[in-house]
Amino acid sequence: MNASRLAVGSPVPARALAAVGGPPVSVPDPERLVHLQFRRFAGCPICNLHLRSVARRHGEIEAAGVSEVAVFHSPAEQLRPYAADLPFALVADPDMRLYREFGVEAAPRALLDPRAWGPLLVAVGRQLCLAALGRDRAPAIRQPNGRLGLPADFLISPDGRVAAVKYGRHAYDQWAVDDILALAAEARRSASVG
């Protein structure tokens, strides 16, 4: 286990993250929970598959008092074409400072784990079909920070503490929307008791 990983209760220093194509995002947010999700690179087929599921249910997530923020290890100019298609903030972290701070890793198991193969095949097939129709764009051939990133999810409370965390074991190992909603409800219950 990586010694720099955060755990439930870990403090998250306040900051404003520059969102691609939008206003800065406060993490933590003084009024809402923040779902800070770490993805791989701009145009990553498997990341896009997951983010589309989040975008489809974004209204439910917002109604639950959660602000979505997705971090990628790509430069802003590579992320910009995707930002307009998603209803939440995308943050470029090409120097991977946030990845290191939050203990998010890269490893060959990201794509070698058999549990990632099914979603990967679906995601690549979807992206190829949409690209052929001119409705999607392929990722850049060269990915300076590689293609082997592992996902990670953090639910950060308004008081600046990690309320829930998940470090992915393979490329498609992240919270589903139902997980986000359940964890947000639990965090609100805990905050009202504490």
Q: Is residue 93 a contact partner of residue 72, using CB atoms and an 8 Å limit? A: yes
* Structural domains of the chain in order of their starting residue, each with its CATH number: 15-193 (3.40.30.10)
Q: What pLDDT shows up at residue 142?
A: 67
In contact, 25 and 121? CB cutoff 8 Å: no
Mean pLDDT, to the nearest integer, of 28-45?
A: 92
pLDDT at 81: 86
Strands 25-27, 15-17: pairing kind: antiparallel
The pLDDT assigned to 59 comes to: 97
Point out which residues pair with 161 in neighbouring strands: 11
Lowest mean pLDDT among 137-146, 150-159, 182-191: 137-146
pLDDT tier for residue 1 given thresholds of 50, 70 and 90: very low
Enclosing H/E stretch for 33: strand 33-38
Which of the pair, 139 or 3, is modelled with greater confidence? 139
